[in-house]
Amino acid sequence: MENSTIAATATPGGRGGIGIIKISGSKALSIASAIFTPAESTSLSVPAPPVAGGPGPADAIKSHRLHYGHIVDPESRRVLDEVLLSVMKAPRSYTCEDVVEINTHGGHASVRAILDLVLRQGARLAEPGEFTRRAFINGRIDLTQAEAVIDVINARTEKSLHLAAAQIRGTLRRSVEEIRDSLISLLTRTEASIDFPDDVEELLEPEAVTAEIDADVIGPLQDLIQKYTDGHVLRDGLKVGVVGRPNVGKSSLLNCMVQKERAIVTELPGTTRDTIEEATTVDGVPIILFDTAGMHETVDPIEQIGISKTVENVNGADLVLFVIEADHPPTVDDHQIYEQFKHKPMLLVVNKIDLVDPEVAEAVPTEWRFAKSVRISALYGRGINSLKKEILATVIGDNPIDIESGIVPNLRQKSILENSLAAAHAIRSEVNSDIAMELIAIHAQEAIDSLGQILGTNVKVDVLDQIFSQFCIGK
Ligand SMILES: Nc1nc2c(ncn2[C@@H]2O[C@H](COP(=O)(O)OP(=O)(O)OP(=O)(O)O)[C@@H](O)[C@H]2O)c(=O)[nH]1
Ligand SMILES: [Mg+2]
C-alpha cells in the first residue's frame, strides 16, 4: 500500500449544487477528525475508550455512514462550511484504503478552502487517476476494470455507457482469463514433456493440441479482436470529416447534423478557415464531425494553411463526406479532392438539391467510387436522415453492434491481443512441425505474458502512467 494520503476535488470546478473533496490513505480519518465538527457530538464517533495509548478518535469514527456537521479550521477556529462527510474505512472503499469524502456546498471558494485545509493537514494533491490507480494497485480491480472507469466517465451515449459498465463488472477480464488459463495448461504440459520426454505423445498429441489451441486460444482471441473492430466506435466515437470545394455547403451540413449554428455560413467562398469539431449522436453511436476549410487551388497563405490542416485532420477520420453541388457539374477542384481522399471510406454528398429538377440525376464521373451517394439540401434539412443512416451503414455495416456481450477491447488491449494471437499461431505451427518443446514453451509464455498486460499483472510503470494520465484529477 502507498503511504501518502492523497486528496482532490472529485466534482468539476465552478459553481454547482455540491462539491466533493475526496481523501484516501492512512491519514484520511485523522485529517477528518481534525477538521470536522459533528453537529451532534455522537454523530462522528462512538465514545473513545479512555485507555491511555488506546485507539484515538479517528479509530472510533463510524464507517459507511454519512455524518452531518461543519468543517472548522483547527488553527483559526473559523467555520468554512456546513457539510456531509462520509467515511469508508479500509478495505471496504474505492481505493481499499481509508476514504473520506466531504460533501460541501458547490462553489469555487468553499471547495478550494476545504481542499487547502485538507492539504495543510498532511495530505498531498492526487495525480490524475490516482484513486483508481490505488484501487488497481491494492487489488480491488484489474486493469481492464480501471480502464473501463475512464470509459464510463467519457461515455457520450447510453450504448457506450452500457459497454463501459459491463467492462467494469469484468466481462473482458473473464474472457482474457479463460484464454490465459488454457495457455497456462498447455505450458504446464509442455514443461512436463520437457522433463519427461517419454510422455510427450500422451501430453502433447499434435492433433489434439492443435484442436485445443484453435478452440480455446486462437478462436477466442480472433473473436475479441473482431469485437474491437465492430464496436470501438461506440466508445471512441466515429470521426467523420466533411470535405469539398469552398461554398458547397459543408458548414451548413455540419450545422444541420448537430442542429445548431455551430459554424459560420455565408455566401462567400472561403468562410471556414479552421477545422471545426462538433459531436452528435446517431442511433446511440457518438459521432465527431469535422467541418473543414474549402479545398481549391489558392495563393492565399491563410487558406493554404487551412487546406493542409483539412488534409491532416481528414486523413485521421473513419469516414469522409465529400460534398459537391447538385447545380454544378464536378470541377477540376472536385476531381482533386476526390483523388486526395479516395483511399478512405467515402460517401458522396450531393448538396443543394433544392436548386435542381428532382427528376434529373446529376452527372457523377464514372471513375468515382463511393460506398454510397446521398442527395441532400443542407439549407432545408432534406435527406439528412438518409445520410445519417448511410454513415452508420458504411462504417458499421449491416450487423448491429453486439453490445449485449459487453465486450469491446480498447486500442491498447487490441494490439496486445494481436501479439498474443501471433504467439498462439507460432505455437500451432511448432506443434505441427516436430520442433523442440522449448520453442512451444517460449511462445506459450509470450502469449501468457501479453495477456497479463491486459489484466495488469505484468505491466510496466510507464504504461500505467500513460493509462492513468487519461483520467481526471479526483478519480
Ligand atoms: N440553396 C441552397 N443553398 C445552400 C445549401 N447549403 C448551403 N447553401 C448556401 O451555400 C452557401 C455556402 O454555404 P456554407 O455552408 O458556408 O459552405 P461551405 O462549404 O462551408 O463554404 P466554405 O466555408 O467557404 O468552404 C451559403 O449561402 C448557404 O446558405 C442548400 O442545400 N441549398
Ligand atoms: Mg464553411
Q: Which ligand is nearest to the CA of 268?
A: 1
Confidence band (pLDDT; 50, 70, 90) for 264? very high
- Among 108, 126, 144, the domain boundary falls at 126
Specify the DSSP class assigned to residue 99.
Answer: E
pLDDT tens column, 224-253 = 998 887 778 887 889 999 999 999 999 999
138 lines ligand 1 (CB under 6 A): no
57-66, 263-272, 411-420, 465-474: the lowest-pLDDT one: 57-66
405 lies in some domain: no
Q: Is the pLDDT of residue 105 over 70?
A: yes
350 lines ligand 1 (CB under 6 A): no
Q: Look at residue 2 in the predicted model and tell me its pLDDT.
A: 54
43 and 108 housed in the same domain? yes
CB 34 within 8 A of CB 56: no
346 and 301 housed in the same domain? yes
295 and 340 housed in the same domain? yes
Question: CA-to-CA distance for 196 and 313, rounded, in angstroms?
Answer: 59
Q: Residue 377 C-alpha to ligand 1 middle, in angstroms?
A: 10
Q: Please count the other Cβ atoms lying within 10 Å of the Cβ belonging to residue 329.
A: 12
Buried b (16+ CB within 10 A) or exposed e, 89-122: bbeebbbbbbbbbbbbebbeebbebbbebbbebe
Share above pLDDT 70 across residues of the chain, in percent, rounded to a whole number: 92
Domain that holds residue 388: 237-396
pLDDT tens column, 111-152 = 999 999 999 999 999 999 999 999 999 999 999 999 999 888
Mean pLDDT of the chain: 88
C-alpha cell at 11: 466534482
- Can you tell me which residue has the cell 466481462? 171
pTM of the shown model: 0.74
pLDDT tens column, 144-176 = 999 999 888 888 888 888 888 888 888 889 999
Residue bearing the CA closest to ligand 1, atom 5: 379
CATH number for 13: 3.30.1360.120
86 and 36 housed in the same domain? yes
CB 186 within 8 A of CB 441: no
Number of domains in the chain: 3
250 lines ligand 1 (CB under 6 A): yes
Q: Residue 300 C-alpha to ligand 1 middle, in angstroms?
A: 21
pLDDT tens column, 374-431 = 999 999 999 999 999 999 888 877 666 666 666 788 889 999 999 999 999 999 988 8
Q: Which atom of ligand 1 lies nearest, measured to the CA of 270?
A: 24
Q: Residue 291 C-alpha to ligand 2 middle, in angstroms?
A: 7
Residue bearing the CA closest to ligand 1, atom 1: 352
**DSSP H helices in 214-346:** 219-236, 250-258, 301-315, 332-341
pLDDT tens column, 424-451 = 999 998 887 766 788 999 999 999 999 9
265 lines ligand 1 (CB under 6 A): yes
- Among 396, 429, 457, the domain boundary falls at 396
Q: Is the pLDDT of residue 256 over 90?
A: yes
In the chain, the amino acid numbered 446 is E
CB 173 within 8 A of CB 145: yes
Q: Look at residue 402 in the predicted model and tell me its pLDDT.
A: 63
pLDDT tens column, 20-75 = 999 999 999 999 999 999 986 544 444 444 444 444 455 567 899 999 999 999 99
Q: Look at residue 41 in the predicted model and tell me its pLDDT.
A: 54
Q: Residue 240 C-alpha to ligand 1 middle, in angstroms?
A: 19
249 lines ligand 1 (CB under 6 A): yes
Q: Look at residue 405 in the predicted model and tell me its pLDDT.
A: 67
Q: Which ligand is nearest to the CA of 245?
A: 1
Q: Which ligand is nearest to the CA of 293?
A: 1
Question: CA-to-CA distance for 237 and 256, rounded, in angstroms?
Answer: 19
354 lines ligand 1 (CB under 6 A): yes
474 lies in some domain: no
Q: Is the pLDDT of residue 17 over 90?
A: no
Burial status of residue 460 (CB atoms within 10 A of its CB: 0-12, 13-18, 19 or more): exposed
Share above pLDDT 90 across residues of the chain, in percent, rounded to a whole number: 62
441 and 364 housed in the same domain? no
Question: CA-to-CA distance for 398 and 393, rounded, in angstroms?
Answer: 6
Q: Which of 331, 164, 159, 305 is nearest to 244 (CA)?
A: 331
Q: Residue 286 C-alpha to ligand 2 middle, in angstroms?
A: 22
Query: Strand, helix or coil at 92?
Result: coil
Buried b (16+ CB within 10 A) or exposed e, 176-191: bbebbebbeebbebbb
246 lines ligand 1 (CB under 6 A): yes
Q: Look at residue 1 in the predicted model and tell me its pLDDT.
A: 46
Residue bearing the CA closest to ligand 1, atom 13: 249
- At how many degrees (to 10) do helices 411-431 and 219-236 cross? 170
With a CB cutoff of 8 Å and minimum separation 6, the contacts of 42 are: none
Question: CA-to-CA distance for 281 and 289, rounded, in angstroms?
Answer: 10
91 lies in some domain: yes
Question: CA-to-CA distance for 448 and 454, rounded, in angstroms?
Answer: 10
